[in-house]
Amino acid sequence: MFKPHGVIPALVTPLDRNGNLMENALKQVIDYTIAGGVHGLFILGSSGEIYGLTNEQKRRVVEVTVEHTAGRVPVYCGASEITTRDCIQTAKMVSEVGGVSALSVLTPYFMSPTQSELIEHFTAIANSTELPIILYGNEARTQVKIEVNSCKELSKVDNIIGIKDSSGDMTRMAEYLRVTDRESFTVLAGRDTLIYAGLCHGGSGAIASTGNIAPKLVSEIYNTFVAGDYQKSLELQFKLAPLRLAVDKATFPVVLKEGLRMVGIDVGYAFGPAAEMTSESKKVLEDVLKDLGLYQIY
């Protein structure tokens, strides 16, 4: 069974002002992040604005990413719609395109299922596909938790192979690790400030949005940890923190797109009603990127 590991940036979807896909910019982001040493690419997540893309755009993002990545790193893909039916539809589309190593499935949003309904939801999606499934909890955005017992139960489903935990609750991440089988189930940090902490508890890496902007820095948190240089890994985690905190300076994922523009890749705009950053917030981000040696004049 496929085992996720390392740092996997949750890629933005480059869009022009009219919401059209910028395919060449997507290829630039793919090349930039892979050159930075990432261990995989994750498309069609919340950073990728899956909620605003048409079905045709979703398919094209998968096609372009698989073709351009050309096996250099594994490709992970979101199948994160509100209903079970629509998640299954996206999962089938991804399978049809081919070349994707695993699906990430977010909890439903807007509706608030019970834990038993959530277990049925994830199980039905897993049963609909041969692709490995990574559960995705991000309650700050969905208001839906994946409780520890639910994770334990779901980890027994053959092709549910892991969870991305964006709760920011280190106790819960540690509990996910404690109650599941380390050989068959992977826990990935979804909060970029907790990559090191997750690794210390036995996690296997992170799906990290800041990996769009600073792929080398984020990847090295993992690489130095695996190499046994825990002090260096911790220092790099602290070095990353200001960038992750800056991500909250505007409506998500506007800062990720502005950050990429500042490092030299124009990925366009986020779907409205998300607006551009204020000049004050841009200055904060600019200073952070200058401190990291990533800022490019454009």
DSSP-assigned letters across all residues of 48-61: TTGGG--HHHHHHH
Identify the active-site residue in 32, 136, 196, 269. 136
Residue 161 clears pLDDT 90, i.e. is over it: yes
Structure tokens at 179: 């109650």
Tokens representing 208? 């990290």
- Domain residues of the chain, as ranges? 6-249
Q: What share of the chain is helix, strand, coil (3-state, %, to 5)?
A: 50, 15, 40
User: For 274, phi and psi rounded to 5 degrees?
Assistant: -60, 130
Mapped onto helix, strand or coil, the DSSP state of residue 8 is strand
Question: Cα(99)–Cα(57) distance, rounded to whole angstroms?
Answer: 17
pLDDT greater than 60 at residue 298: no
**Domain 6-249 indexed as CATH 3.20.20.70:** yes
- Please name the helix (run of DSSP H) or strand (run of DSSP E) that holds residue 162, with its range, or none: strand 160-165
Q: What is the pLDDT of residue 139?
A: 84
For 163-182, what is each residue's pLDDT tens digit? 999 999 999 999 999 999 99
Instruction: Please state, in angstroms and rounded to a whole number, the distance separating the CA atoms of residues 5 and 187.
Output: 9
Band of residue 297 on the pLDDT scale cut at 50, 70, 90:
low
Per-residue pLDDT of 27-71, as tens digits, reads 999 999 999 999 999 999 999 999 999 999 999 999 999 999 999
Omega before residue 9 within 30° of 0, cis: no
Give the three-state DSSP class for 145: coil
Decide if 164 is catalytic: yes
pLDDT for the residue numbered 1: 81
**Which backbone phi and psi does 249 adopt, to 5 degrees?**
-80, -5
Residue 18: count other Cβ atoms within 10 Å of its Cβ: 7
Cβ atoms < 10 Å from Cβ of 52 = 14
Of 32, 58, 164, 269, which is the active-site residue? 164
Please give the model's pTM, rounded to 2 decimal places.
0.96
pLDDT of residue 7: 98
Is residue 92 annotated as a catalytic residue, yes or no? no
Q: What does the pLDDT look like over 243-292, one tens digit per residue?
A: 999 988 888 899 999 999 999 999 999 999 999 999 999 999 999 999 99
Q: How do residues 118-138 score in pLDDT, each as one tens digit?
A: 999 999 999 999 999 999 998
Q: What is the pLDDT of residue 121?
A: 97
